[in-house]
Amino acid sequence: MPLHPRTAKLLKQNLATDLYLSVVRNPRFLILPPVSFLDMIALERETRLIFTDSGGVQKESYFFSKPCIIFRPETEWKEIVENGTAIVANADEQKIIDAFDSLIHSDNLSFPPIFGNGKAAEFICNQLIKNA
C-alpha cells in the first residue's frame, strides 16, 4: 500500500494506537513509500482489490479487472460503479467495510470493454501512417 509521507503520518496520528499497530503489523498489508508509475501498475496488476482516491487508479483497476473501493464522495468514472466493479465509499467506515465484503466475496464481477478494445494507440498510429 504505497502512501504519501503525509498520509502515512496522518494515519499514525489519527488512528487509535491499537488499530494503527494492527494495520502496520498485519502480514496482509505492506505500507510502502510512494512508488513510480511502473511499480504502481505492477502492484495494481497483482492485487485482489484496489482502494484509492485517485481517478487514474480507479480506471486502471478496471483495465486490470480488479474491483475498486473509491475513497471519494463521487467519481468521474461512473461506468465502473454502474458496472458493479467499483463502489464509492468516501471516508465512511461502514460503507468501506460493506464495499470490501461485497467486492472481495463476489464471484461474478465482469469487466466488459466499456472503454474500448485497448487498441486506440495502434489505430491512431495506423491512421497517421495511412494519411502521411
Distance CA 51, CA 61 (A): 9
For the chain, what are the domain ranges?
35-130
Q: What's the pTM?
A: 0.82
For position 7, what pLDDT does the model report?
Answer: 87
Q: Which residues contact 12 (CB under 8 A, 6 or more apart)?
A: 20
Rounded mean pLDDT for each run of 10 residues along the chain, 132 residues in total: 88 92 89 93 95 95 97 96 97 95 95 90 95 89
**CATH class given for the domain over 35-130:** alpha beta
Looking only at the bridges linking them, the beta strands covering 86-88 and 50-52 are: unpaired
